Amino acid sequence: MKFDNYDLALITDEKQRAYFLGYRSTDGYLIMTKDTKTLVIDDRYFFAAKKKLAPKGVEVISAFGYETLFRRAEELGVKRLGIDFNKTKLSEYETLKSHGFEFSDISEDLAADMSVKTDEEIKYIAKACQIAEKAWKATLPFIKKGIREVEVAALLEYNFKKYGASGTSFETIVAFGENAAVPHHETSRKKLRDNECVLMDFGCLYNGYCSDMTRTMFFGKPDDEFLNAYAAVKSAHEKAAGFIKLGVSGKAADAVAREELTKRGYGKYFTHSLGHGIGVNIHEYPNLSPKSGWKIENNMVFSNEPGVYINGKFGIRIEDSAYLCDGNYKSFMKDDKSLILLSDSGKTKKIKI
């Protein structure tokens, strides 16, 4: 945090508190100066928080309301308070304003801080990605004709927990056939039929950090239309991966994938941006989009997820969580992105495209 034009910062968002504390609390608020951190929390969580945070030099106080904040501000002679304008509720703002504070918007400071990960954060995200990929592979043999989208999602999420995740990093998407043409399809009770694609978009949490991954498989025998579209998405994913380096903008990265899809005749079917930052939030900075001015730096973590969506037929998305290491793109995922064919036998077959 810069603390350029404020001396005290108030952090009320749960994910932001987790980022600065390395500890997840569902309640309370964090007061920060350049040198100190104070978590104010009620009695339900006080002893657990103190046990975890006191050894790190974080002061933990059991209290309700903003009286502790007001007292701390008076002790320090603080009039200007740093708050995140994007996260602070109107009711909270009015309460703080009535106490006489002036405000600085720290949303950009927070976004910048959180966009570049420490080596420890990279390890947590890597573990979340490892669990997600392992859980996905363990789920594939159970995807057979007649299974419902919700059942596949439940199996995958069971495997997350089995392999060490604390939960999902977002609502799991499983989409069969024409449902996959909706990028953010709401997983339904649709049953899998012969010769349909199976799109799975999923992620899990490890120590509060997210993973994000999408794979598109096929149950049965894919036709040339699907194979050509899959090849285009895979190529766009690989072109973006090869292009992203230190100092590349999110806009330029998105353009490389978009140009590849356009060249192959699928540009108009790519209806979202190439990627987004990943950390304690499943969507944070940097953005990899047509309007993004963010430059990609070392230890930034982001998704690479081009897609093609043919209404009424199928959708294809290939997504990795990746990061920049020593100036170069590095994926957390290990598979080769070959098209996986599923069958009632439970056996899978790969087609290199």
Taking residues 302-308, report their average pLDDT: 98
Shared domain for 191 and 333, answered yes or no, is yes
Q: How many domains is the chain built from? A: 2
Answer whether residue 131 shows pLDDT above 90: yes
Arithmetic mean of pLDDT, 95-111? 94
Q: Confirm if 73 and 40 have CB atoms less than 8 A apart.
A: no
Tokens of 13: 């968002």
Q: State the pLDDT at residue 353.
A: 87
> Distance between CA 349 and CA 353 in Å, rounded?
13
Residue 51 sits in a domain of what CATH number?
3.40.350.10
Residue 64 has pLDDT above 90, yes or no: no
- pLDDT at residue 154 in the model: 98
Decide if 3 is inside a domain: no
* Beta strands 80-83; 102-105: pairing state: parallel
pLDDT of 306 > 90? The answer is yes
- Tell me the mean pLDDT in the region 31-57: 95
Q: What is the model's pTM?
A: 0.94
State whether 126 and 247 are in the same domain. Answer: yes
- Domain of 58 in residue numbering reads as 8-115
Q: Do residues 136 and 87 both lie within one domain?
A: no
Q: Tell me, what CATH number does 335's domain have?
A: 3.90.230.10
Q: Residue 338 has what DSSP assignment?
A: P
The residue from 59, 84, 115 where one domain ends is 115
What's the rounded Cα separation, in Å, for the pair 297 and 326? Answer: 9
Residue with tokens 């609502």: 171
Query: Is 1 domain-assigned?
Result: no
199-230 pLDDT, tens digit per residue, is 999 999 999 999 999 999 999 999 999 999 99
Distances (CA, A) of 92 to 82, 88, 104: 13, 6, 15
Residues 6+ apart with CB under 8 A from 328: 245, 246
Within-domain flag for 2: no
Mark whether 240 and 105 lie in a shared domain: no
Question: Which of 60, 85, 115 corresponds to the end of one domain?
Answer: 115
Cα end-to-end distance, the chain, whole Å: 46
d(CA 301, CA 128): 13
Per-residue pLDDT tens over the stretch 16-29: 999 999 988 878 99
pLDDT in tens, 151-163: 999 999 999 999 9
**Percentage of residues in the chain with pLDDT exceeding 90?**
95
Q: Are residues 18 and 54 in the same domain?
A: yes
Structure tokens belonging to residue 341: 């064919």
